Structure formats: structure tokens, C-alpha cells
Amino acid sequence: MEIVFWTFSLLALPLLQSAKILTVCLIGGSHYLLLDEISHSLHQHGHEVRMLLQLGNPVITGLSYAGRADSYKRSSWSVGEKYIKEYNAWFLEQQTQFLLGRDDFNGFLNFMGHLSFQCDKLLGDKEIITSLQRESYDMAILDAFNPCSFIVAHKLGVRYVAFYPGSLNGPLSIALPSPVSYIPVFGSRLSDHMNLWGRAKNLFYSFLAPVGQEIVWSIFKEVTERHLESGPPPGGLSELHQGAELWAFNTDFSLEFPQPLMPYTVLVGGLLSKPAKPLEQDLESWISSFGEAGFVVVTLGSMVSSVSVDPLLVELVAGFSRIPQGVLWRYDSQHWPLHMDRPPNLRLVDWLPINDLLGHKKARLFITHGGQNSLLQAVYHAVPVLGIPLFGDQFDNMVRAETKGLGLTINPTQITREQLSATIQTLIEDIRFKSSASSLSRIHKSHPVPPALRLIQWVEHILHSGGGTHLRPASLVQPWYQKYMLDLVLVLCVGLLGPAALGWALCRNKNRRDEHQKIQ
């Protein structure tokens, strides 16, 4: 598969000199894994690539930031050990809140506050900023989840492509056509088939979304005032979003609800999905010991390495002990409670080779937090999922997965051993879930161009054509009243109602004169 991919890549290579490309990765975990794959693919395609990598994000057991041999270059930066220790402690406490079902907007704003603080320190580091400015990059690929990435690109004076690691409804202001009657707003937890109440809820969330974005921008505005010579952009975060030459999304229509796109958007979901490789012998032997029952893969995401809520952990373990399958759980064993026994079918590991496990013929189910990468890998390998969403976009992601027939969802605060074991058995034994997963997998794999090559071709198109101006509609620069035709509505109202009002006034005057004459 890899040979076919790169053979196709070389055949598709445009007449373009090697470009100098900067990838900006200021968040760890799955964000790093995606930017690493993008950076490596661009390097393999002949470009000179450097990643600006911020170290010291929440400690993730088993994840190496060492990079790949003979691949792209890196410029690493750290905010300092004292802050990193405090930040990781805060994030560990946030994990507990997520597991207790306490994901709210204030927690998200606190997270954005940390990103803003880190951004201020990074932009204030003259040595690394000057070294990057000196390189005169042709293009930057940004993690569009973090507003700081856009500010860094402006500081360096480089054109940029925005890569968003989630679904289409994440960014709030890239001006995609989004009728609220069938396109769910971020955080609404709705599908594309809404009843009257659902449409009312979606409309309400559509009014809240821009307010939320302005609040997020207010956290970063002071950073731009301190570090951008031109000051904060007048249009705020919207202007930064709309300044991208191209928007690439980590999704595709195997999972995404169908909706209109714009010329400057490209879907590249599945960057981390690859054919399975053989497992280590020890792991293969363990899987074989469960026979045809197979095994279940469990991970709650790259940033949740353990379960810190004892009652929840007790129910999870008890539920796993009731099923005949082996359970392979990514869990930091150092955090396992000493008083708790592990059932014979449960194996804890620090890090999981997700692709190789899901691609194994005896993989029966994937228990996941509902992260976008996890779901795309499940789709690629046609494995049903049981979602336990914790925060952010995971709730919306699992709505999509359920609607598409890929799996089911359980709220972490409502998990009981009986419910967990029964749901697992339903997902494994009901052929409809495997059938849906296989159908989605065919859709996902049947795209004529692999996702990494798709992104590379679009980036090269932007480089070759001198920018993405030809992809942007005039609506991006129209005033809001023109975009929604309010000026025309006003003119029509004046044009139609004006004569009517004038006629009514003249008739009224005439009637008054007639009445006055009668009285006389």
C-alpha cells in the first residue's frame, strides 16, 4: 500500500520546486500525531519542512516526540519546567472533571487561557522568532484549533494553510454555507435530521456560537497587542480564519453529515489510518488465548491515561470481567489503584498500536472517547465502537457515529457494570453494527486519492498558483448587511412602503379637508 501511495505521489508531482514549509504544533497528543504525519508526508514529497514544536504539554505516557529518522527538521520550544508542572497538574484535575461529566464552557476558557499564556511566552522569545523569520518560509501549515498558530504566522509574515483536526462544524467563522435546518452547530449534539425542537435548539446555538468565539478572541487579543506590530486584526479571530489560503479538515463524508463546501475547503480525514502490521509475538499470543471470542481495544484518548474516579473504574473493570473477550486497555499502570484486582481477561498497556490492533482479524470492538482520529481509524478498519465521550467535540462526534450506525454511546456518569457488559455484547453480536462499519469503511477507502496526498496536492496547488485568492468568494469581504441582503431589503421596503405611506398620508389629508369643509 505504501509503495502504491508514493508511486502515485510521484506521478502526480506538479512542476514545482521544493518549497520551504513550516508546520506549527503547539498542542501535544493527537494534534502532534497529525502534524507529524503531515510534516513527514511533505518531506517525503520533496519539500524542506520544519516543525515548530512546543514541548511540555500534558504528559502522555508512551508517546514519543523524538520524531522520525531521516525526515523533517524540528525547532523545539518550552515554556519552562515550573509552569509545565503546574499546567500538567491542572490538566490532570480537568481529566477528573471530565470523567465526572463536568465539561463546560468555563473549563474550555481556562484551557484557552493557558494557550494564550503559552503564546505570549513563545512570541516573546526573540531568539526562536528571529530564527524562524530569517528562514523566509513559503508556507506554514497551522493547527487551526489553537488561535496562537494564526498569530505566529502573522508575526512571521508567512502565508498559511489552516489544518483543523476535527469536523466541519468546529471553526466558527470560515463562512461555510450552514443552514441551521439540517447542519448541526458545534456543541449542539444534534444529527442532520432534526425535529421542530431540534431546529429550535440548533438556531439558539447558532446565535451563541459567534458570542463564544468573541470571548475566546478576547483571551488572545492582548497577546496580539503586545507582539504584532500592526496590532490586533480589526476583524479578530474571524479575520485570522479567513486569511488562510486553504482550510483542510480531518474528516470525510464517511463520518461527516453531507453539507455544502466552499472551494477553499478540502477534506483529508484518515491521515493516521494505515494498513495493519503484524503485532509483537507476546501480544499475538495473548490475543490467541481468547480464541474466536476475540478482543476489545480500550482507550480514552491520548490525553487521558488513567481513570481517576474510583467508582467509575470499579464499574468499568467489573463490566469488562463479565465478557468473554480479552480487553486491551491503554492505561498508565502506575496510576492503577493497589487495592483493585484485575480480571484475567484485562491487560493494561502504556501505549497501543491502534492501527495494528483494529486491523487485526480478531478485533471485535473499539471502546473510545470519540476523538476524531479514533473514529476514523475505526471506520478504516471496519470495527464498531462504543463511545464514552468526555469533553469538547467528542459528544458531537459520537452523534455522527451513532447516526451512521457505527456504534453506541454511554455517558461516563451513567456507566454500570450491567449496562457496560450488555452494550458490549450488543455491539459485538448484532450484525448490523459490523455491517454499517464495513459499509463506512468502503466509502472511506474508495476515495481515488489518499488523504495525505490529497493535502499535499492542494498545498502545492496553492504554492504553484501564488495563493488561494482564486478560491475565496466575495462574501468573505462583504459587510454583514450586504451578505444578508439587508441593504436591499431596506431599499425595497422604502421603495414599496414609501409610496404606500405617502398615498395613505395624502388620502388622510384629503379626508380631513373634506370633513373640515362639511363642518363649515
Spatial CA neighbour of 188 closest among 171, 173, 208, 174: 208
Instruction: Establish if 331 belongs to a structural domain.
Output: yes
Spatial CA neighbour of 178 closest among 417, 395, 475, 489: 475
HEC secondary structure over 424-468 = HHHHHHCHHHHHHHHHHHHHHHCCCCCHHHHHHHHHHHHHHHCCC
Q: CATH number, domain at 344?
A: 3.40.50.2000
Same domain, 452 and 441: no
Cβ 249 vs Cβ 268: under 8 Å? yes
Q: Are strands 48-55 and 20-25 parallel, antiparallel or unpaired?
A: parallel
Neighbours of 355 (CB within 10 A): 17
Spatial CA neighbour of 206 closest among 229, 176, 172, 237: 172
Same domain, 373 and 461: no
Same domain, 441 and 454: no
Same domain, 233 and 112: yes
Which pLDDT does position 91 carry in this prediction?
A: 85
Task: Render each residue's pLDDT in the chain as its tens digit; 520 residues.
Answer: 444 444 445 444 444 578 999 999 999 888 999 999 999 999 999 999 999 999 877 655 556 676 777 899 999 999 988 998 898 888 888 888 888 888 888 889 999 999 999 999 999 999 999 999 999 999 999 999 999 999 999 999 999 999 999 999 887 667 788 899 999 999 999 999 999 999 999 999 999 998 999 999 999 999 999 999 888 898 888 899 999 999 999 999 999 999 999 999 999 999 999 999 999 999 999 999 999 999 999 999 877 778 888 899 999 999 999 999 999 999 988 888 888 899 999 999 988 899 999 999 999 999 999 999 999 999 999 999 999 999 989 999 999 999 999 999 999 999 999 999 999 999 999 999 999 999 999 999 999 899 999 999 999 999 999 999 999 888 887 787 887 788 888 888 888 877 877 777 778 776 666 666 666 5
Instruction: Establish if 5 belongs to a structural domain.
Output: no
Instruction: Establish if 475 belongs to a structural domain.
Output: no
Instruction: Establish if 1 belongs to a structural domain.
Output: no
HEC secondary structure over 107-174 = HHHHHHHHHHHHHHHHHCCHHHHHHHHHHCCCEEEEECCCHHHHHHHHHHCCCEEEEECCCCCCCCCC
Q: What angle do CA 291, 294, 297 make, to 5 degrees?
A: 145
Spatial CA neighbour of 72 closest among 21, 18, 133: 21
Which pLDDT does position 3 carry in this prediction?
A: 47
Instruction: Establish if 4 belongs to a structural domain.
Output: no
Which pLDDT does position 366 carry in this prediction?
A: 98
pTM to 2 decimals?
A: 0.90
Instruction: Establish if 2 belongs to a structural domain.
Output: no
Same domain, 356 and 287: yes
Same domain, 92 and 136: yes
Same domain, 312 and 400: yes
Spatial CA neighbour of 203 closest among 219, 221, 182: 182
Which pLDDT does position 2 carry in this prediction?
A: 47
Instruction: Establish if 329 belongs to a structural domain.
Output: yes
Same domain, 246 and 391: no
Cβ 432 vs Cβ 402: under 8 Å? no
In degrees rounded to 5, what are phi and psi of residue 122? -65, -50
Amino acid at 62: G
- Domain around 376: 281-445
Same domain, 289 and 320: yes
Same domain, 362 and 491: no
Same domain, 263 and 288: no
- Overall number of domains in the chain: 3
Element (H, E) at 97: helix 81-99
Same domain, 104 and 234: yes
In degrees rounded to 5, what are phi and psi of residue 111? -60, -45
pLDDT (tens digit per residue) in 91-124: 888 888 888 888 888 889 999 999 999 999 999 9
Q: In the structure grid, which three cell numbers stand for residue 276, read together?
A: 495493519
Instruction: Establish if 393 belongs to a structural domain.
Output: yes
Neighbours of 440 (CB within 10 A): 23
Q: What angle do CA 404, 166, 401 make, to 5 degrees?
A: 15
Spatial CA neighbour of 147 closest among 41, 219, 46: 219
